Amino acid sequence: MTQLALIIDLNVCVGCHACVTSCKEWNTSGGAGYLSDDNPYERDPTGCFLNRVQTFEVGEFPNTQTVHFPKSCLHCEDPPCVPVCPTGASYKRAEDGIVLVDYDKCIGCKYCAWACPYGVREVDEHQKVMKKCTLCVDRIYDPKLPEAERKPACVMACPTNARLFGDIHDPESVVSKAIRENGGYQLMPEWGSKPANHYLPRRTTEMRLRADELERVDNPLKIDGLLPKPALKEPALDDVTTW
Amino acid sequence: MHPAFSVIFLTTLIGAGQGLFLALYAAEVGAFLDALPPQAAHGFFAIGSTLAVVFLGAGLFASFFHLGRPERAWRTVAMWRTSWLSREVIVLPAFMGLVAAYGAAHYFGLGDTLLVGAIAMLACVALFVCTGMIYACIKFLQEWATPLTVINFILLGCASGFTFAAAFAAATGSALTGEFAGWAVTFTVAAFLTRAASLIRNQRLKPKSTLQTAVGIKHPRIVQKAQGFMGGSFNTREFFHGASPALVRAVKWGFLVLVFPLPAVLLAAGAYFQSTPVLIVAFVVQYLGLMLERWFFFAQANHPQNLYYQAVS
């Protein structure tokens, strides 16, 4: 069974909010209708967003780390928001595990938002229905898009590749490997909701070069050091020097 | 949580309506068992059932203001297998219909009122359980996730319903004023014990979710520096009550006085002097107190999502 998810690499995220704006741009322009804003250029701007980037400071000065923390629907494998919905508007798709809201059935009772410990559901104050991340379900299966662009808008926008998208139930997928090899974890595991989205923790950055990678491939005799270095005034590039 | 007045009115009004019906049915069963004097079918049971239906209908009406799309409310009957809210939406109109049938059976002298009343009583208990479980079933709202939530809804609803029944009995000249007032005091005292138990329990709660589990970083000191936006959002409006700690404390002591000791004294005085106005005041005071109690019930619930919204920037 497929479970699509986002993997968010906190080691790489720079907190640029490109995923937020890209998400808003894509999802406010789609067939499901706009994501409404109020007072966008005035005193108390407010609006409906499906993705946010927050910033936390970890540690005590001077040993602090600034952690940028993107937060959107985690598409839980056991989503607490789904069984509480009285109309069945909130549902989890069997075929790919995406948690969705049917905007035509939602009555805007907000009970699902109460039942989500992560606070990732937001009421659209004008359409009066609950909105949440759809994993860009209208992008990822669109045959009109080039294969490489069939990814959520946030993933496409991330300049540092901090967001990976794929099937976490396929052990050979990029996202499963990322979780396995980089200590991927879930948020608030204490509630048993089993979020599909995982986060990759901060990691110590190391040089990952092996000694043999430092040697010239076209130097089988390993006699680099034996050749005379060019004089200072001579050209020093490989293809113009004599050796 | 942000207390919504629609839900405060819904839960307090239907609680009073349910309690009032239980008082009426208790009077009939008591008369059947020769323990209580029989009551008039028209003047007592029919009018009383009508008043109970009015309470329930007013609560149902208030609940619509909680919905963004009230015109789709009929869809809520769909998910009764999983959702307590759906179950409540089914049971509430069913119970209203049964109370109306109970009153009509008395009014038209159709007989079988004990049977209709018994079915309505089952629906009444089911409605109490559904209403309470809507809140108690959300396990991470730890202040609500306790059987005490359901017990409090039952006992507080019975207390206000029986208080109203005492005033109603006095107004209609029924001989049951003293009985109803006595039961109302009993329910009020019992509700005080269980509500106080839940207050003590909630004061000792240790939140299971912390900023460490919320962002998954195991460092004792994490401080939020930005929540991602400068203005408000649904997350900052729906899950924070926004009242000062002093006001929350005042509401708590307010309801502790208005729901329990004051109505108990007024009930005793009203029953002793057979005074309808005093008993009406007892009901009104207790009802206002119950609104404060429900406001506090919501305000006290601390949603774990608030961990993500501790600092604007």
Q: How many CB atoms lie within 10 A of CB A55?
A: 18
pLDDT given for residue B253 in this prediction: 97
> Dihedral (C-alpha) A76, A80, A86, A92: value to the nearest 10 degrees?
20
CA atoms within a 13 Å half-sphere pointing along the CA-CB vector of B63 = 23
What digits encode the pLDDT tens for the residues B3-16?
A: 999 999 999 999 99
Mean per-residue pLDDT over chain B, rounded:
96
Q: How far is A46 from chain B, CA to nearest CA, in Å?
A: 5
What gap in Å lies between CA A44 and CA B35, rounded to an integer? 65
Looking at residue A205, its pLDDT comes to: 77
Are B68 and A55 an interchain contact pair (Cβ–Cβ within 8 Å)?
no
* In chain A, residues 9-28 whose CB comes closer than 8 Å to chain B: 17, 20
Q: What integer is the mean pLDDT of A209-224?
A: 66
Q: Is the pLDDT of residue A227 over 80?
A: no
Report pLDDT digits (tens) over B257-304: 999 999 999 999 999 999 999 999 999 999 999 999 999 999 999 999
Sequence-ordered list of residues with C-beta below 8 angstroms from that of A59, at least 6 positions apart, any chain: A65, B219, B221
Averaged pLDDT of chain A: 90
The pLDDT value recorded for residue B138 is 96
Return the SS3 of A198.
Answer: strand
**B307/B305 Cα distance (integer angstroms):** 5
**Cβ-defined contact of B86 to A87 (cutoff 8 Å):** yes
Residues 287-306 of B with CB under 8 A from A: 303-306
Is residue A226's pLDDT more than 60?
Answer: no
Residue A150 is encoded by which pair of tokens? 């069939």
ipTM of the complex: 0.92
What sign results for the dihedral spanned by CA atoms B126, B131, B137, B143?
negative
State the pLDDT confidence band at A232, using cuts at 50, 70 and 90.
low
Residue A117: which of B209, B229, B232 has the nearest Cβ?
Answer: B209
Q: Could you write out the DSSP letters of every residue in chain B?
A: -PPPHHHHHHHHHHHHHHHHHHHHHHHHHHHHTTSS----IIIIIIHHHHHHHHHHHHHHHHHHTT-S-GGGGGGGGTTTTT-HHHHHHHHHHHHHHHHHHHHHHHHTT-S-HHHHHHHHHHHHHHHHHHHHHHHHT-TTSTTT-SHHHHHHHHHHHHHHHHHHHHHHHHHTT-TTHHHHHHHHHHHHHHHHHHHHHHHHHHHT---S--HHHHHT---S-EEEEE-S-SS--HHHHHS-----HHHHHHHHHHHHHHHTHHHHHHHHHHHHHT-HHHHHHHHHHHHHHHHHHHHHHHHH---GGGGG-S---
Q: What is the mean pLDDT of residues A65-83?
A: 97
Chain B from 172 to 201: CB within 8 A of any A CB: none
What residue of A is the nearest CA neighbor of B134? Answer: A84
**Partner residue facing B233 (CB), from A46, A60, A80:** A46
Q: Which of residues 127-166 of A touch B (CB under 8 A)?
A: 128-129
Decide if A58 and B219 are in contact by the 8 Å CB cutoff: yes
Answer whether B217 sits within 8 Å of A116, measured CB to CB: no
Tell me the per-residue pLDDT of B75-104, one tens digit each, with 9 for 90 and over.
Answer: 999 999 999 999 999 999 999 999 999 999
The nearest alpha carbon in chain B to A203 belongs to B217
Per-residue pLDDT averaged across A34-47, rounded?
A: 92
**C-beta atoms of B83 and A83 within 8 A:** yes
CA B117, distance to chain mean position in Å, is 21
Residue-wise pLDDT tens digits, A98-109: 999 999 999 999
pLDDT of amino acid A216: 63
Give the three-state DSSP class for A20.
Answer: helix
Query: pLDDT tens digit string along B128-166?
Result: 999 999 999 999 999 999 999 999 999 999 999 999 999
What residue in A sits closest to B63 (Cα-Cα)?
Answer: A109
pLDDT value of residue A209: 81
The reply to whether B308 touches chain A by the CB within 8 Å rule is yes
- Give the 3-state secondary structure of residue A166: strand
Q: How confident is the model at residue A237, as a pLDDT?
A: 60
Taking CA atoms, B166 is separated from B12, B192, B289, in Å, by 18, 19, 18
Average pLDDT over residues A178-186: 96
Measured between CB atoms, does B119 come within 8 Å of chain A? Answer: no
**pLDDT tens across A123-155, in order?**
999 999 999 999 999 999 999 999 999 999 999
Q: Does B234 touch chain A if contact means CB atoms closer than 8 Å?
A: yes
Average pLDDT value for residue range B52-70:
97
The residue of chain B nearest to residue A109, with distances taken between CA atoms, is: B67
In this structure, are residues B166 and B267 in contact, taking their beta carbons and an 8 Å threshold? yes
Interface test with B, best of A65, A190, A200 (most B CBs within 10 A): A190
3-state secondary structure of A176: helix
Q: Which two tokens stand for residue B17?
A: 């309506």
CB A80 within 8 A of CB A190: no
pLDDT band at B42 (very low <50, low <70, confident <90, very high): confident
Predicted TM-score of the model (pTM): 0.91
Task: Please give the pLDDT value at position B111.
Answer: 83
Residues of A in contact with B93 (CB under 8 A): none
Helix (H) or strand (E) holding A137: helix A137-140
What is the model's pLDDT at position B60? 97
Q: In this complex, is the C-beta atom of B233 within 8 Å of any C-beta atom belonging to chain A?
A: yes
- List the one residue out of A179, A96, A169 whose CA is nearest residue A137: A96
| Beta partners for residue A91, in sequence order | A100
3-state secondary structure of A231: coil
Mean pLDDT of A79-87: 97
**Spatial CA neighbour of B21 closest among B150, B133, B110, B126:** B126
Query: By the CB < 8 Å criterion, does B312 face chain A?
Result: no
The answer on pLDDT for A221 being more than 70 is: no
* A31-45, A66-80, A102-116, B56-70: range with lowest mean pLDDT: A31-45
- The answer to whether B262 and B206 are in contact (CB under 8 A) is no
* Listed range (A63-77, A220-234, B122-136) with the worst mean pLDDT: A220-234
pLDDT mean over B237-251:
96
- Compute the count of residue pairs across chains A and B with CB atoms less than 8 Å apart: 176
Q: Which residues pair with residue A69 across a beta bridge?
A: A54
Integer angstrom CA distances of residue A66 from A13, A33, B223: 10, 36, 10
CB atoms within 10 A of CB B35: 10
- pLDDT at A215 > cutoff 90: no
Q: How many other CB atoms are found less than 10 A from the CB of residue A81?
A: 26
Q: Do the Cβ atoms of B49 and B100 come closer than 8 Å?
A: yes
Residue of higher predicted confidence among A214 and A170: A170
Of the CA atoms within 13 Å of residue A175, those in its CB half-sphere come to 22
